[in-house]
Amino acid sequence: MKRVLIFFLVLVFSVNFVNANYKLGYKLYKQGKIRQALKEFQVDAEKYSYWYFPSYMAAMCYYRLKDYKSALEMLRMAENAAMKSDKKVVELPKVKVLEAQVLASSGKCKDAIRLCSKYIPQSPAEFQAMFYYIRGKCENKLKNSSKAVVDLKNATGINPKNPSAWFELGLAYIHNNNLDGAIKALTKAMQIYPRSKATYYLLTDALLNKGRKVRDEKSKKRYYLKAVDVANKGLKYFPGDKKLLLNLANASLGAKQYATAINLFSSLYKKYPNDGQVLFGLGSAYMGNKEYKKALPYLLKVKNRMNNTLIYNFIATAQLAIGKKENNLSKCKVALKTIREGLRKFPHDRALKKKLKEANDIIAKFEENIKIEQKNKQIEQENKRKLANRIMTLKGRIRKAEEIKRKTGRYPASYESDKAELEKALKTYEKLYGKFRQ
């Protein structure tokens, strides 16, 4: 009887000791003191192997510390304890969910997928949702986007309150070229957890890409304005974030809010004067606002960093617009040079070919106008010469008439008409060419 009493007291004190360490370890874990928490959980795991929780929490600590090998070792201990527990139906899936997360994080996605596939059928719904989520995330990493969509739809169907599952579903839809599905899933992720920077990044990107793809102008504007709204929501939590500010500027540009876009890109340019996206965005915003002279320097700065046809098209458009406005043929020929440079890199690009025709037509018109101007100038010079000669002739005739008057006492009959014609000719000359100088 005495021995039984001693054993009972030892068991009571042991349980209290376990609970005390558990509470301290968990408190340290919640405070972010992972290494200190790990020491507490390791003590319990070694002494009380019948209880899954200390080993499980030790594994969780190793997982947070990215020591995946040690995490898996602790999970073996936790699994052994869970297998003997009367709560095995809950404890074992919990251990296996963490094991799947560790495998996935350590790059062993195929092993994680196999583990999830094994335990999905035999686990309670809440753990099924986690297994589907982890398997879907691994399928995303392995670029099996169609499989990922199926798994992540199952995950969100069972547990619609997991923002990470909605985020991964959005990512899977993007990989699967389904922007509509991505936008819906990512919007749901944002609504559930509005403090995820990655969600704002991916959602604004998806909205911008959708806006660029649709043809209907009203739809375009709707997606761009939605991107503006989402970016602004993100900036409330992450003020000054470069990616969100850049997406906000691009969304404003897409919505044709050029003044707003110019202000946003200008602010970014002050902070990031060598950033290619900022330079191109600012140049594009000025282009949209038809401020071609302001656009051109930014576009030229980024030309050699962009491997696409759009930069050549924009630069040539700006150069042609400036050349036309200034009536400057040489500037239009610079645009032609830009287009030909672009076509050497992208010989089959239709937009550049169209721009080439436009430039050639403008230059041809310029050259035709120059010829007409030269011809008109020649005609004008000839008319000026003829008028000057007529004035000189009339002046000569009037002098002769005056000489006749001195000799005979009267003017020739043509004297008055010559004087009237001379006066008229001088007025015409002065109006057209300035004061007549002999």
**What's the burial of 58, exposed, middle or buried (CB within 10 Å: 0-12/13-18/19+)?**
buried
CA distance 14 to 60: 24
Show Cβ contacts of residue 329 under 8 Å, excluding neighbours closer than 6 positions: 323, 363, 366, 367, 370
Question: What pLDDT shows up at residue 18?
Answer: 40
Does residue 16 have a pLDDT over 50?
Answer: no
Q: What is the pLDDT of residues 372-419, one digit of tens each?
A: 878 888 888 999 899 899 989 998 999 999 999 898 989 888 989 988
Which comes out higher in pLDDT, residue 418 or 209? Answer: 209
What is the number of other CB atoms lying within 10 angstroms of the CB of residue 251?
27
CA distance 23 to 314: 65
What is the number of other CB atoms lying within 10 angstroms of the CB of residue 161?
11
Q: What is the pLDDT of residues 411-431, one digit of tens each?
A: 888 989 988 998 999 899 899
CA distance 368 to 388: 30
Question: What pLDDT shows up at residue 33?
Answer: 93
**C-beta separation of 248 from 235 below 8 A:** yes
Q: Is the pTM of this model over 0.85?
A: no
**What's the burial of 43, exposed, middle or buried (CB within 10 Å: 0-12/13-18/19+)?**
middle
CA distance 137 to 171: 9
3-state secondary structure 221-277: HHHHHHHHHHHHHHHHHCCCCHHHHHHHHHHHHHCCCHHHHHHHHHHHHHHCCCCHH
Question: What pLDDT shows up at residue 366?
Answer: 84
